[in-house]
Chains A and B, each alone.
Chain A
Amino acid sequence: MKKLFLLLFLFCIVLTAASPATALVYIDINSPGDKRLPIAVQPFTGNTEISGIIKDDLTFTGLFECISDAAQIEKPDQPFNRANWLGIGIELVVKGRVSAGRELSAAISVHDMATGKEVMRKEYSAASSLVRPIAHTIANDIYKLLTGQDSMFRSKIAYVCDKDLKKELCLMDWDGHRNQSIGLSSDIMLTPRWSPDGNRLLYSAQRNHQWTIYSLSTATLREQSVVRLSGLSMAGNFFPDNKQYVFTYTKDGKSDIYVSEIGTSSASKLVTSSWIEVSPTVSPDGKSILFVSNRSGGPQIFISDQRGDNVRRVTFQGSYNTSPAWSPKGDRIAYVSMISGRNQIFTIKPDGSDASQLTDKGSNEDPCFSPDGMFITFTSNRDGVKGIYIMSVNGANQVRITPKSRRSVNSSWSPQ
């Protein structure tokens, strides 16, 4: 009996061992190619300008390739049919119909080629003069659908430009279009900085030999003087609460960093020493402050906590490093480093590692990250007159976005 059970038991073991192994094999795939994702944006019936702007926006990101109209079998006014797009290898088809009356109205549908399903259907309407904003909004919705994140298409860039012998505060779209002066001029105007909520612009201006830091309401375009001292005061940026801000005050050749709040007339010292401290920049989370100091010889970038304590040097390469700017995630810092007598834009990690040079033509300064962290604007004199340029965070695709006829400096991106 026992033998019989033993035999049965052994037989069962043999059977289990003989059954095929079910353990799943895993393989690693690395080093993807850098090809763009092909999509189709059909010319919108009723207004091809809007579809053109959407294409420009999406193409500029470097992530997408909009296939040419000639490669599209399906006509823009035909309903979407997946069969018409098979074989081209595209990811998404965007169709749109625009009707213009008193208002501009655009109906957009987006079709995913993987499933053949409509993944977005939206209607947009605005005043007929707002063709570009409506196009940027549609482009942003498509971008968000594909990446899960907002783009910088709808954000604005504030900068300082020359007019006659004065400086003016100007605004433009990310692509340099709708470039307009706000109508505020000064003898000198510097460092415009947006509040995180986009409701204020902080900047320094000298009028009648008096330096003042102003806060401009972007809704009413009313200017409010916030710091007026008998020396040079230079605006930094806001803390995440949109009220507190940092600035530099220079008197008798000595610069220190202060913190103040909109609505109060007092300020407290944040970073002070016997050396020069300038260009304070609060991190997006409000917990760290970057600034430039000459405490170790030449100007270098330092980081402190929000109280100005625990100061640590960030840059060690190069003898002249200035103009620090935080990326929106706070994971990188853009700055200017002087190389062979010319200023160049670099980025570095906050721990001081992974420094990377992004520019090499002309002299470049004032870097500022786009709100999505994918682009950097900066000032360059590479084409003669100083102008605002845009590039990818890795330095690719450097393009001028302000007219060559006009000197433009100090760019600052609005939030998304």
Chain B
Amino acid sequence: MNQPRFFNSLSVSFFLHTVFITAIILVVPAHKHRQITPYIVAIVEDAPIQPPAPGKLLPEQEPVAPQPMQESQKKEPIKKLSPIEKSTQKSDLSRVQERIDALKAKKHIEQLVNLRRSIDIKASGAAPSARPSKGSTSLQGMPAAEYESLVGSLIRQKWNYPATLDQNLEAVVVISIALDGQISIKEFEKKSGSTLFDRSVIRAITLSSPLPRPEKVTELGIKFIP
């Protein structure tokens, strides 16, 4: 009697463990993705270039800095020291001002990040792309089929093959589109038999990289038929 009970409890334990482990596998990576809010990184990097914070500093500094310089050029060389002293005094003031502005900028960035997050959540339930790249634009929320046809038309625009050459050819290439839109050729599934044709196909793919960023790493088979 004891043996089946033990077996039953062992099975239940195995079942529960399996459920627990798979739950961890399925849930944890998605959760991790949500925790990485990579847009924060991007915006902080861009922030010093953006005008709001330094924009306020500039009009105050501009009239102060050039005036003593112009005066000092006209006056005797000893008096050149005084504007420097003045500027050191003023630099303390400007440091305080900078801190205030930095705090303002930080608040502004936080607002932006919150706004961006809410937009991202609205656009798609998935985690935002991890590595935003310079050349490509993000197409969050675009249906997969639409994205694939966009990829097709973008690669076609870069594809050139002379009309005077044999047109009865076909090449099939499997590509992988990374999250930053970079294309890598995974496999030349079918070569056409024409060196120039195969070259034109590889060239079209290479010239199309980076593509607009996909929602997830995307693999596509592309049939090139003139």
Report A's interface with B, CB cutoff 8 A.
Answer: 1, 4-5, 7-8, 11, 15, 18, 24-37, 62-63, 89, 91, 114, 146-149, 374, 392-394, 396
Q: Does B206 make an interface contact (CB < 8 A)?
A: yes
Whether, in the assembled complex, B44 has its beta carbon less than 8 Å from a beta carbon of chain A, the answer is: no
Interface assignment of B70: CB less than 8 Å from any CB of chain A: no
Q: Which of A8, A26, A30, A36 contacts B162 (CB 8 A)?
A: A36
B114 within 8 A of partner (CB): no
Expressed in whole angstroms, the Cα–Cα distance for A33 and B151 within the complex equals 16
Name the contact of A25 in the complex, choosing from B7, B164, B221 (C-beta under 8 A).
B221
Binding site for A on B (CB under 8 A): 4, 7-8, 11-12, 15, 18-19, 22, 26, 144, 148-149, 151-152, 155-157, 159-165, 172, 174, 194-196, 199-200, 202-204, 206-207, 219-226
Complex Cα spacing A98 to B52, Å: 62
Q: How many Å lie between the Cα of A10 and that of B124 in the bound state?
A: 31
A selection of 19 A-B contacts at a CB cut-off of 8 Å is: A1-B8, A1-B11, A7-B15, A11-B15, A26-B221, A28-B222, A29-B222, A29-B225, A30-B156, A31-B156, A35-B160, A37-B196, A37-B199, A62-B164, A63-B165, A91-B203, A114-B202, A148-B196, A394-B163
| B199 to A: closest C-beta gap in Å | 7
Q: Which residue of B lies closest to A375 (CB)?
A: B164
Given contacts A11-B18, A32-B226, A33-B159, contact A27 B195 (CB under 8 A): no
Q: Which residue of A lies closest to B155 (CB)?
A: A29
Give the secondary structure class of B's interface: helix
Q: Which of B15, B159, B161, B172 contacts A8 (CB 8 A)?
A: B15
| Interface core residue of A1, A28, A89, A392 (most chain B CB under 10 Å) | A28
A392 CA to B163 CA in the complex, in Å? 11
Whether B203 pairs with A29 at a CB distance below 8 angstroms is: no
Q: Could you tell me if A28 and B225 are in contact, using CB atoms closer than 8 angstroms?
A: yes
**Contact yes or no, A32 B221, CB < 8 A:** no
| Closest B residue to A19 using CB positions | B26
By Cβ-Cβ distance, the 9 closest A-B pairs, closest first, are A148-B195, A26-B221, A35-B160, A32-B161, A32-B159, A33-B160, A147-B196, A27-B152, A28-B223
Residue ID in chain B nearest A144 by CB atoms: B195
Please give the distance in Å from B219's CB to the nearest CB on chain A. Answer: 6
With A and B bound together, what is the CA distance between A8 and B22 in angstroms? 13
Q: Is the CB of A11 within 8 A of B161?
A: no
Q: Which residues of B contact A89 (CB under 8 A)?
A: 207
Smallest distance from the beta carbon of B202 to chain A beta carbons, Å? 7
Contacts of B225 in A (CB 8 A): 28-30
CB pair A28–B152 under 8 Å, yes or no, is yes
* Cα(A147)–Cα(B162), bound, Å: 12
CB of A148 within 8 A of CB of B222, answer no
Given contacts A27-B151, A148-B196, contact A34 B160 (CB under 8 A): yes
**C-alpha spacing A1/B12, complex, angstroms:** 10
Q: Which residues of A contact B224 (CB under 8 A)?
A: 29, 32
Contacts of B221 in A (CB 8 A): 24-27
A30 vs B157: C-alpha distance in the bound complex, in angstroms? 10
CA distance A18 to B30 in the complex (A): 14
Please give 16 more A-B residue pairs, beta carbons under 8 A apart, in addition to A1-B7, A11-B18, A33-B157: A1-B11, A4-B11, A15-B22, A24-B221, A26-B220, A26-B221, A27-B152, A27-B223, A29-B155, A29-B224, A33-B159, A36-B162, A91-B199, A114-B203, A149-B195, A394-B163
Nearest B residue to A20, CB-CB: B216
A4, B174: Cβ atoms closer than 8 Å: no
